[in-house]
Amino acid sequence: MAGGARWSRMRLSELDVPVGPTGSVEWPGPEQLVRIGYSEMADRRCGGAPRTCAPPGEAIPREGSMRHFCLLLMALALAACAESPRASLDAARQALAESRYAAAIAAADAGLAGEADAVTAWGLELVKLEALDRDGRGDDTLAQIEELAALRPENMPASQYSATADQLRAAGQGAAAIQVLDAGLGRFPDDETLLGLIEEAKAAPAPGSEELEMLRSLGYVD
């Protein structure tokens, strides 16, 4: 860390965590920890144990500061693994609710890049799928829904395909909606809702429209 950089303070439980001006954690050396008040935290924590604590107001010995420094790093690592993906999911859902689709996709991707548990990861994937279709990104939506179906087919019912197709059509992506319905029928060929949506689509598009051309290319109309 550059000598002129400023420090702010972020509380994690009872630990004072140094963070850089951008909000990312930056790791100080033992001497910096003493300067920013880490010795006071050590005074509270170790209760006067020899060699690791100093009287209040005095710097703790190097061995003690290094020991507490390592414990601090471990606590931060565990907290980051547990909280970051969940925080990303909350942020993605909030952005989706506010129709900020690009922000929702970015937050979902950030959470998926971390060590998310299975439930959180699936929530992030679904938020991303909905943000993609509501944003009218047809090709990306189709790729996402196919990826999720391959990843966890038991979690992708026919209703997910029909809902995604409806959202794509509302976003002006009729041709992509047909592709999603076709993908759904590939897995659920007898689903009445999917079949009904295909029949509705066959009656709706104008001659020469992209939706009609997609229906024709997939064999639903002559």
> What is the tens place of the pLDDT at every residue in 168-209?
999 999 999 999 999 999 999 999 999 999 999 988 766 668
In a domain, 69, yes or no: no
In a domain, 9, yes or no: no
Q: How much is the mean pLDDT over the chain?
A: 76
Listing DSSP states for the chain in one string gives: --TT---EEEEETTEEEEE-TTS-B-PPPHHHHHHTTHHHHHHHHHTT-TTT---TTSPPPHHHHHHHHHHHHHHHHHHHHHHHHHHHHHHHHHHHHTT-HHHHHHHHHHHHTS---HHHHHHHHHHHHHHHHHTT-HHHHHHHHHHHHHH-GGG--HHHHHHHHHHHHHTT-HHHHHHHHHHHHHH-TT-HHHHHHHHHHHHSSPTT-HHHHHHHHTTS--
In a domain, 37, yes or no: no
In a domain, 10, yes or no: no
pTM above 0.95, yes or no: no
In a domain, 218, yes or no: yes
In a domain, 88, yes or no: no
In a domain, 70, yes or no: no
In a domain, 16, yes or no: no
**Residue 201 lies in domain:** 136-222
- The total domain count for the chain is 1
pLDDT category, 35, cuts 50, 70, 90?
very low
Percent of the chain with pLDDT over 70: 61
